[in-house]
Structure formats: structure tokens, C-alpha cells
Amino acid sequence: MTQASLAGAVPAPARKADQERAPVQKPASSVDMARIRYGAGLIVAAFALLGIVFGVAVSDFSTASDVTAVVGSVTTVVGTIIGAFFGVQAGAAGKEAAEASRTKAEAGRAQAENAARVALAHLDPAAATEVMKLL
């Protein structure tokens, strides 16, 4: 045995090609950008609506309790709708991420199964049968 084989495998220094293929953050997809645009538009429209309702309530009602009742009613409905919109969007994004992870895990499982088949194919039949019994 040589000194190099006793020392074990030494990792090779990183090549320039490997560094060029380093993971880079992917830009947001067009679906994600559409979600962001619609969400921003929804928030702007909600603030505009609340401003209009507040202006109308202040001009039409003389007591603070009346203004508070009108603005509170509209704010509740608008807040519920916006919360539902963003809840659905967050759920859809989570579903997409879960499906991507599942696909990746299934690919890894298939690769592991193929590696096990190849390894068992290189064993003599008696040893392969024993290994299969353990699995």
C-alpha cells in the first residue's frame, strides 16, 4: 500500500467550472410577480376606499361614534377580504413548494433504488439473497 492510499482520499480543490455553476437565487417567476402586483394593487385600492369612506363619514355624520361605526364596518369587510386573498396566496405558494420537494424526494428515491439494484447485481447470488432478506 502506498502512503497516498493509507491517507485516504483527499478532496480536489474546487475547479473554476464548479464555481461558475454555484447555485444562484432564481428570479421570481411570472406567477409570483403577478401575485405581488395584484396584492399591491389590492392594498392601494383598500386604502383609497377607506380614505373615501372616512371622508364621507366625517362630512355626513357629526358624532365620533357614528364615524367610528361606519369606518369600522367598512374596515372589517375590507380587512377580511384582503386577509383571505393573502391567505390563499400563501397557501398556493406553500403547495407549490411542497410539490417541488416531493418531486425531488421521489427522484432521489428512484436513484437510490437503482444504485441498490446495481450493487446487488455485482454480488454473487447467495450474498445478494442474504442482503435482500435484510432489506
Q: Distance (Å, rounded) from C-alpha 36 to C-alpha 89? A: 10
In-domain check, residue 15: no
Number of structural domains the chain divides into: 1
Long-range contacts of 84-87 (CB under 8 A, 24+ apart): 85/38, 85/39, 85/42, 86/39
- Per the domain annotation, does 20 fall within a domain? no
Q: What is the pLDDT of residues 94-135, one digit of tens each?
A: 888 899 899 999 999 999 989 888 888 888 888 888 888 887
First to last CA, the chain: 34
Question: What's the pLDDT band for 21 if we cut at 50, 70, 90?
Answer: low
Instruction: Flag whether 17 is in a domain.
Output: no
**Domain membership of residue 73 as a residue range:** 30-134
- Please name the helix (run of DSSP H) or strand (run of DSSP E) that holds residue 135, with its range, or none: none
Domain assignment present for residue 21? The answer is no
For residue 127, tell me if it sits in a domain: yes
pTM (two decimals): 0.54
